């Protein structure tokens, strides 16, 4: 008997298909969540297609989960039945290593347990994510969600949101700074909203002039077309930070001259890049990586969103339509995130 319905990838080449499976028995610190919404992240597709060479099948994607608590273990103290909650990219970590003690569970020395596709320490096989009706998660990896926001638009905050919020916060974005967001997709549109809410002057840097108007609606003050070498030269040496959200192989070199002396470009995509160190050496510039965020910071981001009324721009779908949605994600044809309405699937 299976207690959970979902959709899974059965191999790297097939479409997602229905998959019934068991969630684990409730432990004393566990929270059971009935899933209302799940965002569709490009990582879901990379994992299903085994683009990173680590996938084990079948696999249920989904790590932007919003739902309601339907049961709690005996020792759960932070949540009660009926609470609106979120589950993001992580569902567990060792809790003991220096990274975990620093609230950087995403860098756990013993390996974070990702919401899907990680070895499942309880059930065996791999963990299964949010393209499903319910999930059981230890309470320290469950997030509180404000009732103030439009809940279906909150789901993408759990990955697209924290992936952009964390570096902007870590590199201390604020008033008086000029911040460039490179690429306007699921991540980029959140980067614009956050950097603007933090008080920075935001410039959308894109190859696509037609995205300019939308970038301004999201909070960008200016739009810089990266193919326009004259315009790029006019902005040289003026940026305090660049957040590069480009998810595919690309050339970093044209962006480095935009930075002021001693400033940083953050990359959040995991991809090969072209680089000549000349662009770093002149001006003592840096390129840094950033990966989602720890649980404490993710909760802080959720609270920041409630305070500043920040949500994602989403397009709702039913779970049955996931394969069509993925095709559109692969063509970057979504503004700016698909969210699955799981209520349609119960």
Q: Would you tell me which residues interact with a copy of itself (CB under 8 A)?
A: 98-99, 102, 104, 107, 109, 170, 237, 261, 264, 267-273, 275-291
Nearer to a copy of itself, 208 or 264 (CB): 264
CA dist., res. 38 & res. 342, Å (int): 7
Smallest distance, Å, CB 129 to a copy of itself? 20
Distance CA 61, CA 63 (A): 7
The angle that helices 295-308 and 186-197 make with each other, rounded to 10 degrees, is 70
Residue 126 beta carbon to a copy of itself: minimum distance, rounded to whole angstroms = 19
Q: Do 220 and 181 touch, CB atoms closer than 8 A?
A: yes
Q: Take residue 56 and report the two structure tokens written for it.
A: 């084990």
Q: Report the nearest approach of a copy of itself to the CB of residue 18 (Å).
A: 33
Q: How far is the CB of 32 from a copy of itself (least distance, A)?
A: 31
Contact between residue 190 and residue 156 where contact means Cβ atoms under 8 Å apart? yes
- Smallest separation (angstroms) from a copy of itself to the CB of 256: 9
Shortest Cβ 293–a copy of itself spacing (Å) = 10
Q: Residue 43 or 133: which CB sits closer to a copy of itself?
A: 43
DSSP, collapsed to helix, strand or coil, labels residue 152 as: helix
**C-beta closer to a copy of itself: residue 4 or 286:** 286
Is the Cβ of residue 209 or residue 237 nearer to a copy of itself in the bound state?
Answer: 237
Q: Which of 87, 90, 71, 77 is nearest to 3 (CA)?
A: 71
For residue 160, what is the enclosing H or E element? Answer: helix 160-170
Q: How many CB atoms lie within 10 A of CB 4?
A: 17
- Select 148 or 276, whichever has its Cβ closest to a copy of itself: 276
Closest to a copy of itself by CB, 192 vs 246, is: 246
Do residues 132 and 2 make contact, with C-beta atoms less than 8 angstroms apart? no
**CA nearest 246: which of 324, 185, 330?**
185
How near is the Cβ of 283 to a copy of itself at its closest, in Å?
6
Query: Got the DSSP string for 300-341?
Result: HHHHHHHHHT----EEEE-GGGHHHHHHHHHTT-SSSEEEEE
Q: Using CA atoms, how far apart are residues 308 and 275, in angstroms rounded to an integer? A: 37
C-beta of 126 vs 266, nearer to a copy of itself: 266
What three-state secondary structure class fits 78? coil
Q: Residue 248 or residue 316: which is nearer to a copy of itself going by CB?
A: 248
Q: How far is the CB of 225 from a copy of itself (least distance, A)?
A: 23
Interior angle at CA 185, CA 162 and CA 84, nearest 5:
40
């Amino acid at each position: 008997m299976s207690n959970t319905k979902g959709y899974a990838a059965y191999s790297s080449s097939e479409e997602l298909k229905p998959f019934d499976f068991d969630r684990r028995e409730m432990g004393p610190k566990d929270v059971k969540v009935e899933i209302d919404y799940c965002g569709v992240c490009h990582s879901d597709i990379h994992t299903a297609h085994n683009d990173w060479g680590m996938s084990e099948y079948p696999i249920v994607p989904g790590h932007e989960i919003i739902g309601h608590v339907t049961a709690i273990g005996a020792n759960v103290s932070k949540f009660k039945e009926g609470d609106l909650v979120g589950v993001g990219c992580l569902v567990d970590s060792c809790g003991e290593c220096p990274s975990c003690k620093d609230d950087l569970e995403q860098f756990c020395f013993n390996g974070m347990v990702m919401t899907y596709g990680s070895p499942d320490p309880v059930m065996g096989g791999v963990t299964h994510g949010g393209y499903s009706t319910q999930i059981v998660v230890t309470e320290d990896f469950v997030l509180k969600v404000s009732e103030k926001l439009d809940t279906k638009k909150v789901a993408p905050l759990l990955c697209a949101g924290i992936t952009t919020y964390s570096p902007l916060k870590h590199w201390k974005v604020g008033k008086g700074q000029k911040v460039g967001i490179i690429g306007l997709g699921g991540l980029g549109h959140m980067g614009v909203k956050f950097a603007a809410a933090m008080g920075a002057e935001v410039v959308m840097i894109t190859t696509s002039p037609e995205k300019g108007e939308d970038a301004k609606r999201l909070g960008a003050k200016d739009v810089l077309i990266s193919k326009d070498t004259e315009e790029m030269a006019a902005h040289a040496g003026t940026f305090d930070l660049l957040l590069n959200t480009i998810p595919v192989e690309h050339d970093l070199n044209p962006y480095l001259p935009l930075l002021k002396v001693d400033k940083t470009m953050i990359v959040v995509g995991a991809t090969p890049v072209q680089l000549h160190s000349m662009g770093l050496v002149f001006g003592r510039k840096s390129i840094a990586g950033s990966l989602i965020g720890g649980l404490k910071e993710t909760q802080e981001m959720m609270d920041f969103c409630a305070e500043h009324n920040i949500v994602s721009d989403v397009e709702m779908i039913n779970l049955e339509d996931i394969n069509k949605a993925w095709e559109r994600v692969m063509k970057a044809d979504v503004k700016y995130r698909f969210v699955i309405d799981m209520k349609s699937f119960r």
